[in-house]
Amino acid sequence: MTGLRWGILATGLIARLFTNDLRTAGLNPVAVGSRSPESAQRFADEFGIPRAHGSYAALMDDPDVDIIYVATPHPGHAENAIAAIEAGKHVLVEKPFTLNAREAAAVRDAAARQGVLVMEAMWSRYLPHMVRVRELVTGGALGDVRALSADHTQRITDDPLHRLNALELGGGALLDLGIYPVSFAWDVLGEPETIIASARTGLTGADSEVATVFTHAGGALSTTLSSARAAGPNIATIIGTEARIDIDRVWYNATSFRLIAPDGTVLEDFASRVEGRGMQYQALGAERLVAEGNLRGDILTIDETVAIMGTLDEIRRQIGVTYPGEE
């Protein structure tokens, strides 16, 4: 194996999916760290990882690790990322990058001081169909882009004890699900100039449904809908004066889309062919950036990540969701 030597911080489901995709792509996970030595060893055994560390600090201190994937719960992202950065590691932080823009800026600034890469693991941006969508939009195939819509809606749970409904764990539909369509709107249309948000909250005060309307440069509109209580179509559409793009279910996973003219003619029919879930593409992106010496990023820059967290902060302000310690 070549490239960077990966350390996996935490051993939950998302870490398992990511590590499986690292293996699929021939990348090199060399160590895993958990608060439980037993959990770390089980994870290492499952994925053929040479070293299992019984603490996060031990993983960060491992001299044979070049880059750490942070897969801890939301409230730990900033602290864990900064600790890894201060240990001299490059860092890929699972989304949401942090709880808020203040924390995100602190992580960005720590990486700048240390001269390492820090990158948000918004893996959908790196998928082949999203790369092609971006090419079509920037190349003018849609003409003047007028509107975008996307939903991320799942029937998960209304259990008040589940982490998704726990404010102390950064719970709520917005940070777990809504971040996908919000980031998508940013990717296609740029920073929102105005933000309107509405939500329904559950018994714990965490948001269960969130809807947004943004305006962007030139007057383009985007709408997003997220829900943790009900499953919708999970599709996305970008509408331009010369064509539209319809992205199929599930739009934020590796999937297919069509470029369609106003008269209904299909101008392009794109189908993804991806091994695994597709999380390897963001890892390959991180390795490329490090090799190029580009520590700010390109497909999703660290400054854009911080700004997107600011958009999420404003949405939460409008819907009245505050996490402990933010008052």
Q: What is the pLDDT of residues 70-92, one digit of tens each?
A: 999 999 999 999 999 999 999 99
Cis peptide before 73 (omega within 30 of 0): no
Which pLDDT belongs to residue 261? 98
Residue 258, SS3 per DSSP: strand
- Residue 265: partners with Cβ closer than 8 Å, 6 or more residues away: none
Amino acid at 193: E
Domain that holds residue 88: 5-121
Nearest alpha-carbon partner for 32 in 22, 20, 42: 42
Would the CA dihedral through 181, 270, 275, 295 be positive or negative? negative
151 strand-pairing partners: 225
Q: Are residues 39 and 162 in the same domain?
A: no
- Give me 80's structure tokens: 């864990």
pLDDT digits (tens, 9 = 90+) for 224-277: 999 999 999 999 999 999 999 999 999 999 999 999 999 999 999 999 999 999
Residues 38 and 54 in one domain: yes
Domain boundary residue among 121, 153, 169? Answer: 121
Q: Are residues 57 and 182 in the same domain?
A: no
Counted residue by residue, the chain has a size of 327
- Closest Cα partner for 106 from 302, 327, 250? 302
- Render pLDDT for 147-197 as a digit per residue (tens, 0 to 9): 999 999 999 988 988 999 999 999 999 999 999 999 999 999 999 999 999
Q: Domain check: are 165 and 221 in the same one?
A: yes
Number of helices (H), then strands (E), in the chain = 10, 14
In 10 A of CB 56, how many CB atoms? 23
Task: Identify the sign of the CA torsion 70, 75, 79, 82.
Answer: positive
Q: Does residue 311 belong to any structural domain of this protein?
A: no
Using CA atoms, how far apart are residues 219 and 71, in angstroms rounded to an integer? 37
Strand 90-94 vs strand 118-121: parallel, antiparallel, or unpaired?
A: parallel
Please name the residues in contact with 240: beta carbons below 8 A apart, sequence gap of 6 or more: 137, 141, 142, 143, 144, 145, 146
Write the pLDDT tens digit of every residue in 11-58: 999 999 999 999 999 999 999 999 999 999 999 999 999 999 999 999
Q: What CATH code is carried by the domain that includes residue 9?
A: 3.40.50.720
Residue 10, helix vs strand vs coil? coil
In a domain, 36, yes or no: yes
Nearest CA to 62 among 45, 38, 40, 39? 40
Predicted local confidence at residue 77, as pLDDT: 98
Residues 136 and 252 in one domain: yes
In this structure, are 103 and 137 located in the same domain?
A: no
Output the domain CATH number for residue 146. 3.30.360.10
Q: Which residues are catalytic?
A: 95
